[in-house]
Amino acid sequence: MRLVVEGLKAVLLNDLGGQGVDEPLSETGFKQAAAAGIFLNNVKFTHVFSSDLTRTKQTVHGILEKNKCCQHMTVKYDSRLRERKYGVAEGKGLSELRAMAKEAGEECPGFTPPGGETLDQVKMRGIDFFEFLCQLIWKEADKKESCSLETPSNCLATSLAEIFPLGKSCASKFNSDSSAPELVASVLVVSHGAYMKSLFGYFLNDLECSLPETLSKSELTSVSANTGISLFIINFEKEREVKPTVQCVCMNLQEHLKEMTETC
């Protein structure tokens, strides 16, 4: 079974927002969310998930209100998609976090401030959500098949191939191989920088995700910019013992922000 997961980072505060600082978007943040929505306005989503923090809620609604076919979709808010918890460092600047780490004889990002989450804890939250998502899609596909309903057509794949610059080179991978599983879901996930970096690390290291040749090493290790967009194609089986195969189409894409940068 094949699905597409599109991860998008919410607009992040300059300070460490974490989970405890639940501030709304700035004026720039609303503009960036709208720009992402315009960029994605032709993409047909079957599911939309978001962190339940204010900045992600506002970001996802800024995206959907620009979408031509998904404006009224129900967003499922999930606390497993929250940003890493930074404990006593929340609301402080990154320089202060680095100073705390230095004082403790450690380095960022591996340092865990008092009351914060370890990187392993963040990773386990990501794995838990990912496995839940795969099982949800499989159960829904099973239900549709048993009710003799049609599964989503290749319009899902077409909408992606038309929108993503890097997706065009992968269009044939969606449709040309008749033996390939049908694309059954196109999922939008809106979360946070450190969380998504951890989840993508799981894709890359644990699931041995294949990467586009154009992706640089710095892009693999960096935290996404605000509203950076990443697209993954995932093939999976119902049995949990069978490891999913993951293909990265693009990571931390920022094409939609070019016009904003040029007008500043």
Positions at the binding site for substrate: 55, 83-86
Q: Which residues contact 16 (CB under 8 A, 6 or more apart)?
A: 86, 89, 90, 91, 92, 93, 94, 97
Which residues define the annotated binding site? 55, 83-86
Residue 96 has φ and ψ, to the nearest 5°, of -70, -35
Closest CA to 74 of 93, 94, 50, 92: 50
- Are 234 and 246 in contact by the 8 Å Cβ rule? The answer is yes
Give me the phi and psi of 103, to 5 degrees please: -65, -30
* Three-state secondary structure call for residue 58: helix
SS3 sequence of 132-180 = HHHHHHHHHHHHHHHCCCCCCCCHHHHHHHHHCCCHHHHHHHHHCCCCC
3-state DSSP assignment of residue 182: coil
177: Cβ–Cβ under 8 A, 6 or more apart, which residues? Answer: none
The answer to whether the CB of 52 falls within 8 A of the CB of 129 is no
Q: What value, to the nearest 5°, has the Cα angle with vertex 46 and ends 219 and 137?
A: 85
* Residue whose token pair is 């032709």: 42
Say which DSSP state 189 is in: E
Q: How many residues does the chain have?
A: 264
